[in-house]
Amino acid sequence: MNDPTHQSPPRPRATHSRIAILAPGLLGASLARAARARGLANSIALWARRPEIRLRLEDEPWCDEVFASAADAVEGASLVVVCAPVDCIVPLVREITPSLSPRALVTDVGSVKSEICRLAHDVVSPKADFVGAHPMAGSEKSGMEHAREDLFENRPCFVTPLDNTPEEATGKVAAFWTALGCMVSTVDPERHDEIVANISHLPHVLASLLCSRLLSLDPGWRNFAGGGLRDTTRIAGGDPRLWREILRQNHEEILRAVRGFQDELEAFQTALANHDYFQVANFLERGKEYRDRLRP
Amino acid sequence: MNDPTHQSPPRPRATHSRIAILAPGLLGASLARAARARGLANSIALWARRPEIRLRLEDEPWCDEVFASAADAVEGASLVVVCAPVDCIVPLVREITPSLSPRALVTDVGSVKSEICRLAHDVVSPKADFVGAHPMAGSEKSGMEHAREDLFENRPCFVTPLDNTPEEATGKVAAFWTALGCMVSTVDPERHDEIVANISHLPHVLASLLCSRLLSLDPGWRNFAGGGLRDTTRIAGGDPRLWREILRQNHEEILRAVRGFQDELEAFQTALANHDYFQVANFLERGKEYRDRLRP
């Protein structure tokens, strides 16, 4: 029974001798804290663009080395996690590629995947492998001051290989996110973008538009707001610059999702205008059926 | 200086020798607990339709007497709070009116006010006064098991007198809700219905329709949901029967609010379809401007 040839195939290693995390905001800093707490790296290297952030990083127990250059930060790392906003990911990958170790793995946390995965793959291949990821662990808050060691625990995480991504690379990246506490699902980037257009980007658009509509009606009414409006619109507090770029990169799928919702809203409006309360109740009941089965 | 004629006019009394609370669900039971904790009544009488609820009420320290008949419960009460669903409020007011003490005050917690205030006023006048109220303190949860003594603390509360409601009655009802911890605003019922159509009923409709749309796309995607979808749709878990009745009673204002939102969504869709990211960002920025100034 001790004959190694009879063991089940080894699970991909989630631990790395050296991890480089680029742009430690809410996600990147939480990732560093979680990786340290779970012992996933012997050494954690960070790169931050702003000098004042680098200064703060030097005092953090979850940061072993700080670099002023992203290319320097990735040297010797077996895993690089790019935590920059979606429009900065590919430029950063381009910047670090000459310094990547052979067969290094590069992953990211971007909310849109098709464009990033295709371009980043072209940049790093054949030297290294890019396997995109998207942990559903964001917040309307940003910045490393909100970082939490448990941010990824029990959160869904997409891992989005291309057709030609080596299985071993996909397995290692999936193992890393799993080791951080995520529930990993592997889907292709286009499918990812369709799903999140509906379950994440459309809700964001609706929250923003509800708020922009209320702003033009009577901003003072906000003083009467109950918990319902507060929860429904929380994500509208997100950074407009980040979201503008998400809407640009996932343009086609979000447009499709918005149009699908417009049809739903038009059907509801017609039912309400016709005093068809059987139909009105049907929308409410279907909504509750979906909501009641959402994970807590 | 001790001459009472030189004192400022007395503030309306918020305390009552006897308060009757009809239908103690989440709001009614929270109200009874808060009234007891704040010493607003010497005696609290409750009526519940279901025998098993009445049995549980007998053991509660915030309940002095339990009645099987709503008419019996209001006898001798100087304040009656009707906490039933919106379609049951006027029928209950009709049932209790013969037993009301002369000059008793009747208030409620209904989410729609025009129809209820007009009809309830006609029923109780001239024997007693009905002054509608709407504390913005609900939840998608219902039932007295979720009741909390602090449910009303720092919550907005509308008090909605008619033109011919005596000022003294309005003042006493406002004083009661203030004493419970609410921030009271006095507006006429029609204005109330316009405001809540936009800040409460429209958000509910959008949350329900987002969920009903996602149910028809692929219910399994709910497993990938992040905190954004969860918060945005929390209120879609509310009771469809209650909300159907709210939509019926506030039909005109909600229809107007829905159509206003449809215009906003169409303008956004056009901007996105045209790749007009300047306009797209403008919607996001206006949304954030509104959301950032919402009270915590």
* Predicted pLDDT at B1: 39
Would you state the pLDDT for residue A2? 43
- Asked, for residue A1, whether it belongs to a domain, the answer is no
Residue A69 shares a structural domain with residue A111: yes
Establish if A185 touches chain B: CB-CB under 8 angstroms: yes
Same domain, B252 and B269: yes
Q: Give the domain extent around A242.
A: 192-292
Q: Answer yes or no: do B245 and B155 share one domain.
A: no
A8 has a pLDDT exceeding 60: no
A169 touches chain B (CB under 8 A): no
Tokens of A208: 């923003």
Global pTM reads 0.91
Which amino acid would we find at residue A174?
A
Asked which of A172, A187, A202 is the last residue of a domain, the reply is A187
A72-129 pLDDT per residue, tens: 999 999 999 999 999 999 999 999 999 999 999 999 999 999 999 999 999 999 999 9
Whether A275 and B198 lie within 8 Å, measured CB to CB:
no
Find how far residue B35's CA is from the centre of its chain. 17
Is A4 a residue whose pLDDT tops 70?
A: no
* Whether residues A28 and A96 fall in one domain: yes
Residue B8's pLDDT is 56
Instruction: Report percent pLDDT > 70 for chain B.
Output: 96
β-strands A129-130, A105-108: how paired? parallel
Q: pLDDT of B214-252, one tens digit each? A: 999 999 999 999 999 999 999 999 999 999 999 999 999
Provide the pairing of β-strand A156-160 with A132-135: antiparallel
Residues contacting B240, CB < 8 A, separation 6+: A281, A284, A285, A287, A288
Q: CATH number for the domain including B243?
A: 1.10.3660.10
Give the pLDDT confidence score for residue B3 in this predicted structure: 45
Is A198 found in the same domain as A174? no
Residues 233-272 on A with a CB inside 8 Å of B are 233-238, 240-241, 243-244, 247-248, 251, 254-255, 258-262, 264-266, 268-269, 272
Please give the DSSP secondary-structure letter assigned to residue B200.
I
Q: What single letter denotes the amino acid at residue A49?
A: R
What value does the mean pLDDT of chain B take? 94
The residue in chain A having the minimum alpha-carbon distance to the alpha carbon of residue B238 is: A288
Task: Please indicate, yes or no, whether residues A100 and A134 belong to a single structural domain of this protein.
Answer: yes
- Across chain A, mean pLDDT equals 94
| d(C-alpha A10, C-alpha A103), whole Å | 19
DSSP string for B235-282: GGGS-HHHHHHHHHHTHHHHHHHHHHHHHHHHHHHHHHHTT-HHHHHH
Same domain, B182 and B213: no
SS3 state at B56: helix
B104: CATH: 3.40.50.720
* Each residue's pLDDT tens digit, A276-285: 999 999 999 9
CB contact residues (below 8 A), chain B span 45-84, against chain A:
none
Q: What is the mean pLDDT of residues A151-170?
A: 96
Residue B47 scores a pLDDT above 60: yes
Kindly state whether residues B117 and B255 are assigned to the same domain.
no
How large is the C-alpha radius of gyration of chain A? 22
Q: Are residues A264 and A182 in the same domain?
A: no
Strand order in A156-160's β-sheet?
A: A132-135, A156-160, A183-186
Across the interface, whether the CB atoms of B287 and A244 are under 8 A apart is answered no
Q: A233: which chain B residues are within 8 Å (Cβ-Cβ)?
A: 203, 232, 287, 290-291, 294
- The complex's ipTM? 0.91
Which of residues A164, A187, A210 is at a domain's end?
A187
Do B181 and B196 fall within a single domain?
A: no
B126 band by pLDDT with thresholds 50, 70 and 90: very high
Residues B257 and B160 in one domain: no
Residue B285: partners with Cβ closer than 8 Å, 6 or more residues away: A240
Domains: count for chain B:
2
Could you tell me whether strands B132-135 and B156-160 are parallel, antiparallel, or unpaired per DSSP bridges?
Answer: antiparallel
Lowest mean pLDDT among A2-11, B62-71, B129-138: A2-11
C-alpha to C-alpha distances, B249 to A28, B110, B285, nearest whole angstrom: 49, 11, 34
Residue A196: phi and psi, rounded to 5, are: -70, -25
Q: Indicate the residue among A124, A154, A187 that finishes a domain.
A: A187
